[in-house]
Structure 1
């Protein structure tokens, strides 16, 4: 691993131990009309974990997203992080995130170095309380997407994600209706909703870390 990559990873790990940008950063990617929904007290929410997995490719750091299959669920076809529901056999929500990533994209979870966690968030539409875990993959991941859950992968450099020009308004389709919401424009995809909220917080952490080490 290149020395500057090691420095960036160590810097990110340190930043994740500090007070996080939190809900303020997450709510920047929520339409104003939906903020009241997020303020409601969750009632018996399900628990879930997602993995923001960083890895090195061609001397650049990337983050992998999945496009969910169109299964008729509330998140069908959306761009998201690998992850899913907490199962009784999971030690904790970090274990949930690692297990789900292994199942969905075929990575070797034992090679993921945990760097820290972002702010837990509630997703009203699916009644999930989600814990985002940030990890670094030691080596080159050989992705094997599970076709039952994953329609495709989106691999994006951190340098591209922190570019402010990727963020702006965008039209999304929700059950046949069009809505304008805050999105990240990545290639021909729009990242929005809970994934965009988590991503926005992570980008702010990256920018803090990037003050010491350039991507």
Structure 2
């Protein structure tokens, strides 16, 4: 029964991703106030990157992995994220970037991933990246092998948890000595905010028309 419902979900999601996406409308719901106040725009030094949002069946439900970035001297240190990273010269496209980075960071077997489509590309001012969220599925729960240089922890998230509106909050976040007002998703003991929260917001708006 689980496999039937999982396949129905993924088939419908694939179709929905071919339709117009909510994009900025969804992003604005979870954007930090500083994003619009500072008004930072893409420029000639802006680079491209991609992340993988990968669904799989587990425990009678549908899950996806998030990662906790380790503490380091960087703008995204200690934050929750989807596995992913910057596009390299040898990547033929951003889908390949997302798959390669997910394999390197959390050890999933990308040859088993079915790509359904993607969400809206999102500009991230602090790191000056455009990031493309790629949506994929695995037919099984993967074994995770996190790269300790890139990933402090893998956090498996039940889709029903993401769909629970009570996990949404708003607070001030300290980022490199600055205080930022930012909406967040409270997932277990982790607060997911910033670009990752904006991607989740669009994902949930798309899924809301699927379920």
Given that 1:25 and 1:204 are in contact with CA atoms closer than 8 Å, whether structure 2 keeps it comes out as yes
Q: How far did residue 168 of structure 1 move?
A: 1.8
Q: Which runs of 5+ in 2 are unaligned?
A: none
Cα 1:112–1:38, aligned 2, differ >3 Å: closer, same or farther?
farther
Q: Structure 1 residues 108-117 or 162-171, which shifts more?
A: 162-171
Output the TM-score relative to the length of structure 1: 0.93
Distance in 1, Cα, partners of 2:126 & 2:179: 17
Given that 1:38 and 1:123 are in contact with CA atoms closer than 8 Å, whether structure 2 keeps it comes out as no
Look up the SS of the partner of 1:150 in the other structure: coil
Q: Which residue of 1 aligns with 2:26?
A: 25
Q: Which residue of 2 aligns with 1:158?
A: 159
Q: Which residue of 2 aligns with 1:48?
A: 49
Q: Which residue of 2 aligns with 1:204?
A: 205
Q: How far did residue 38 of structure 1 move?
A: 5.3
Given that 2:33 and 2:180 are in contact with CA atoms closer than 8 Å, whether structure 1 keeps it comes out as no
Distance in 2, Cα, partners of 1:166 & 1:20: 23
Given that 2:40 and 2:125 are in contact with CA atoms closer than 8 Å, whether structure 1 keeps it comes out as no
Q: How far did residue 175 of structure 1 move?
A: 1.6
Look up the SS of the partner of 1:149 in the other structure: coil
Q: Which residue of 2 aligns with 1:11?
A: 12
Q: Structure 1 residues 149-158 or 172-181, which shifts more?
A: 172-181
Q: Which residue of 2 aligns with 1:213?
A: none
Q: Structure 1 residues 193-202 or 23-32, which shifts more?
A: 23-32
Given that 1:37 and 1:124 are in contact with CA atoms closer than 8 Å, whether structure 2 keeps it comes out as no
Look up the SS of the partner of 1:200 in the other structure: helix
Q: Which runs of 5+ in 1 are unaligned?
A: 211-215
Equivalent positions of 1:124-143 (< 5 A) are 124-143=125-144
Distance in 1, Cα, partners of 2:204 & 2:148: 29
Aligned alpha-carbon RMSD (Å):
1.4
Given that 2:62 and 2:158 are in contact with CA atoms closer than 8 Å, whether structure 1 keeps it comes out as yes
Q: Structure 1 residues 79-88 or 180-189, which shifts more?
A: 180-189
Given that 2:35 and 2:125 are in contact with CA atoms closer than 8 Å, whether structure 1 keeps it comes out as no
Q: Which residue of 1 aligns with 2:187?
A: 186
Look up the SS of the partner of 1:143 in the other structure: coil
Q: Which residue of 2 aligns with 1:167?
A: 168
Given that 1:56 and 1:62 are in contact with CA atoms closer than 8 Å, whether structure 2 keeps it comes out as yes
Distance in 2, Cα, partners of 1:53 & 1:157: 12
Q: Structure 1 residues 64-73 or 168-177, which shifts more?
A: 168-177
Q: Deviations over 1:115-157 (max 9, x none)?
A: 1100001111101011110000122201011111100011111
Given that 1:105 and 1:145 are in contact with CA atoms closer than 8 Å, whether structure 2 keeps it comes out as yes
Given that 2:113 and 2:136 are in contact with CA atoms closer than 8 Å, whether structure 1 keeps it comes out as yes
